[in-house]
């Protein structure tokens, strides 16, 4: 059985209340969802929280999954909404906090020398929409069609964002 078909079968078992199916689905998808959140420049602490929130949303919305449909776009759409909701909550909280005119002086920390480029720093320089598409395609291994469904975009839009992200990363790497 293909991985996509296996995930669909696990999701159907989840809908039916099969505890083993639920556990296996969580075990198989949690690592890539966690990497999805980390790649979106979320701290590890928040990535843990967002992962748990995503599984709660999946549990609450499991009845809306249609058997036979691809599972990954459905799950990543929920994860994306969890991330956006988190961002909005954080922004509202930051807007209410009092701004400090002058930050305290801290000693500069020299980054450790590394053998290759700092991929995380390069990803930070991408616009959020391009970074999101790139993570879904390359880290999560989703197809272009699945990414389009998860982001409510057209296939052409996903291809364009991916192409622009690759070009930007190539320029950053060469610099």
* Domain containing residue 85: CATH number: 1.10.1740.10
- CATH number, domain with residue 137: 1.10.10.10
Rounded average pLDDT over 25-31? 94
> What pLDDT, on a 0 to 100 scale, did the predictor assign at position 28?
94
Q: What is the extent of the structural domain holding 86?
A: 1-94
Residue 127 maps to a domain? yes
Residue 82 maps to a domain? yes
Cα–Cα distance between 131 and 56 in angstroms, integer?
25
Task: Say how many domains are in the chain.
Answer: 2
84 and 13 within one domain:
yes
Total H helices, total E strands in the chain = 8, 0
87 and 1 within one domain:
yes
Cα–Cα distance between 146 and 141 in angstroms, integer?
10
33 and 87 within one domain:
yes
> pLDDT digit string (tens) for 66-124?
998 999 999 999 999 999 888 888 777 777 665 555 655 655 555 555 567 777 888 88
77 and 124 within one domain:
no
Residue 113 maps to a domain? no
pTM: 0.62
136 and 75 within one domain:
no
> pLDDT digit string (tens) for 124-167?
888 888 988 988 888 888 889 989 998 889 999 999 999 999 99
Compute the Cα dihedral for 133, 138, 139, 141 and give only its sign: positive
Residue 77 burial (CB count, 10 A): 15
């Amino acid at each position: 059985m293909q991985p996509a078909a296996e995930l669909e079968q696990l999701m159907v078992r989840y809908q039916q209340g099969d505890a083993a199916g639920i556990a296996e689905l969580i075990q198989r998808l949690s690592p890539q969802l966690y990497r999805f959140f980390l790649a979106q420049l979320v701290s590890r602490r928040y990535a843990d929280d967002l992962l748990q929130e995503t599984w709660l949303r999946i549990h609450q919305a499991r009845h809306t999954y249609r058997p036979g449909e691809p599972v990954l776009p459905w799950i990543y759409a929920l994860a994306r909404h969890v991330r956006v909701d988190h961002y909005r909550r954080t922004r509202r909280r930051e807007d209410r906090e009092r701004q400090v005119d002058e930050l305290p002086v801290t000693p500069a920390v020299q980054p450790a020398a590394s053998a290759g480029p700092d991929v995380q720093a390069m990803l930070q320089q991408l616009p959020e929409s391009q970074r999101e598409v790139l993570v879904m395609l390359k880290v999560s291994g989703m197809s272009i069609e699945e990414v389009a469904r998860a982001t409510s975009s057209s296939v052409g839009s996903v291809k364009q964002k991916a192409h622009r992200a690759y070009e930007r990363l190539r320029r950053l790497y060469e610099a």
